[in-house]
């Protein structure tokens, strides 16, 4: 193998490494799936959104059905207002509930949709009424420690 052949192999290896880094960056930023299909927007209010971010997935039964497009604070109710774009191939009943869930123990947060049983479906601009806020690990630990400190001491003899 001559010098040109080795240089070609090294160039191909560098190009493959560059493409792998681009792929990983897109995966980490949740930009790997470019959805250009029709969508409809729905909103939901949460008392605590935890670490939810824009572009976080919206899933139902483990299948990604949409993305979070904006997060803001409602200055009247002081709740987090989350706007989601749902792929129009997926329809959900009006009494669908939304939860902020975590992928794994310390993974990214996403919104999980639990379909209800209503005959009418969510449409563009509708709001999901039943929501469950994010579980914040620090709050759980603090509550556990507070409850343990409030317990009366036990005598062990």
**pLDDT at residue 155, as a whole number:** 65
Q: In angstroms, rounded to a whole number, what is the distance separating the alpha carbons of residues 143 and 149?
A: 10
Q: Are 40 and 127 in contact (CB under 8 A)?
A: no
Structure confidence by residue, pLDDT tens digits, 21-79: 888 777 766 555 555 678 899 999 999 898 899 999 999 998 999 999 999 999 999 99
Instruction: State the pTM of this model.
Output: 0.68
Give the distance from CA 137 to its chain's centroid: 16
Helix (H, G, I), strand (E, B) or coil at 21: helix
Angle at 62 between CA 58 and CA 63, to 5 degrees: 65
Structure confidence by residue, pLDDT tens digits, 127-149: 999 998 877 767 778 877 877 77
Contacts of 35 (CB under 8 A, 6+ apart): 67, 87
Q: Are 17 and 69 in contact (CB under 8 A)?
A: no
């Amino acid at each position: 193998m001559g010098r040109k052949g080795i240089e070609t192999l090294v160039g191909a290896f560098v190009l493959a490494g560059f493409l792998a880094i681009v792929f990983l960056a897109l995966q980490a930023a949740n930009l790997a799936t470019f959805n250009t299909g029709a969508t409809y927007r729905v909103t939901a209010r949460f008392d605590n959104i935890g670490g939810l971010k824009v572009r976080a997935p919206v899933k139902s039964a483990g299948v990604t059905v949409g993305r979070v497009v904006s997060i803001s604070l409602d200055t009247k109710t002081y709740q987090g207002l989350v706007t989601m774009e749902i792929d129009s191939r997926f329809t959900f009943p009006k009494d669908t509930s939304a939860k902020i869930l975590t992928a794994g123990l310390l993974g990214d947060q996403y919104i999980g949709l639990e379909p209800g049983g209503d005959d009418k479906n969510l449409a563009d601009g509708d709001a999901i009424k039943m929501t469950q806020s994010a579980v914040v690990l620090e709050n759980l630990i603090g509550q556990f420690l507070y409850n343990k400190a409030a317990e009366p001491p036990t005598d062990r003899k």
